[in-house]
Amino acid sequence: MSVLKINEIDGGVTFGVKVVPGSSRTSIAGTLDGALKVKISAAPEKGKANQSLIAFLAKTLGVNKRSISIESGQTNPHKIISVKGVSADIILEKLEIRNSKL
């Protein structure tokens, strides 16, 4: 398992996500090549998996869905996610709490 690479930007952070759509349940599956690996129960059709990913990350990180956007990779399992209004420390803290429950 690798370490999650988080880039601080003006007003927030960006990080990579590897999405595995069509899983039995939505959950964090660790890290892969510096990106957060997330299993999504939604199918990869008509943006359902992307919407599910944003909703899941918002709940996990304790932020509003409007604070999260997919910067690149709309149709690719490898995505760059932007989260406004948080620091890298907050992201790592929230994900550490989440990962400890897996």
52-74 pLDDT tens trace: 999 999 999 999 999 999 999 99
pLDDT at 49: 95
Q: Are 68 and 56 in contact (CB under 8 A)?
A: no
Question: Long-range contacts made by residues 92-98, C-beta under 8 angstroms, separation at least 24?
Answer: 92/4, 92/6, 94/60, 94/61, 94/62, 95/4, 95/28, 95/36, 95/60, 95/61, 98/28, 98/60
Question: Where along the chain do its domains lie?
Answer: 6-94
pLDDT at 69: 97
pLDDT band at 97 (very low <50, low <70, confident <90, very high): very low
C-alpha 39/C-alpha 67 separation (Å) is 21
Q: With 90 as the cut, is the pLDDT of residue 95 above it?
A: no
1-53 pLDDT tens trace: 578 899 999 999 999 999 999 999 999 999 999 999 999 999 999 999 999 99
Please determine, looking at this structure, whether the domain spanning 6-94 carries the CATH number 3.40.50.10540: no
Torsion of CA 61, 65, 68, 74, to 10 degrees: 120
